[in-house]
Amino acid sequence: MSVTKSSIDDLSNREAWRLFRIMAEMVEGFETLSVFRNCVTIFGSARAKPDSPLYRDTEILGRLLVEHGYGVITGGGPGLMEAANKGATEAGGASIGLRIHLPFEQGCNPYVKTRLDFHYFFVRKLMFVKYAQAYVVMPGGMGTLDEFSEAFVLVQTKRIRPFPIILYNTKYWQGFLAWMQDSMAGDGYISKQEIHDCCVLCDTPEQVIDQISRSVVP
């Protein structure tokens, strides 16, 4: 198949029109979320089951956050995202879900009260950060790790105001943090102080609330 000037122009036009879709997602996100002033973003596995201890902890955390004056933002999916939205909704607070379109559709959990749908991961991640007073990172997979890394770099490089990045469940995260300290910091790619400044470990919903309450004024 030959490449012609016409085919190159068509591709360029399609790429240019893509900008409008990106802009539309940003505008809708800004307009919808700008009314929410005190939210905490919670990340975690979509595969956690409702009968798991982590699901119950996350549900309790969502409820406690609302009771302490915060709204809850999640990815809007099942698992621990659902648990956080459930706790927030049943407590009568803001329960926001920022859903991403995926080839294997997860659907939106029924406890989301304010929903936004995104095609682009980077626009969605912008909304997670822009409207959060703190991050709580529950155990999860690569998506959860991706969101943690995004927040860590933004705090580390001071591109956003410092806020707590709380890693929930010491047993789950301690090996990862040890690797960061031994390998990344050990080889000089990051400092141990940066890890210490950016990350906080908690093991109960009450500890999370205490940490956020001491770091953020709602």
Mean pLDDT of residues grouped by 10 in the chain (218 residues)? 51 74 95 94 96 98 97 96 98 96 78 95 93 95 94 90 91 96 96 93 98 78
pLDDT at 1: 45
Q: Which of 145, 77, 151 is nearest to 110 (CA)?
A: 77
Domain residue extents for the chain: 5-215
Angle between helices 53-67 and 80-90 (to 10 degrees): 40
Structural domain 5-215, CATH architecture: 3-Layer(aba) Sandwich (3.40)
Neighbours of 104 (CB within 10 A): 4
- Residue 136 makes CB contacts below 8 A (sequence gap 6+) with 40, 41, 42, 43, 61, 166, 168, 208
* Closest among 132, 88, 92, 130 to 109, alpha carbons compared: 88
- pTM (whole model) above 0.85: yes
Report the pLDDT value the prediction gives residue 15, as an integer from 0 to 100: 77
Q: What pLDDT is stored for residue 10 in this prediction?
A: 58
pLDDT for position 81: 97
For residues 194 and 199, give the distance between their C-alpha atoms in angstroms, rounded to a whole number.
8
> Can you give the pLDDT at residue 125?
93
**What pLDDT does 8 receive?**
44
Residue in the structure block whose two tokens are 């659907």? 107
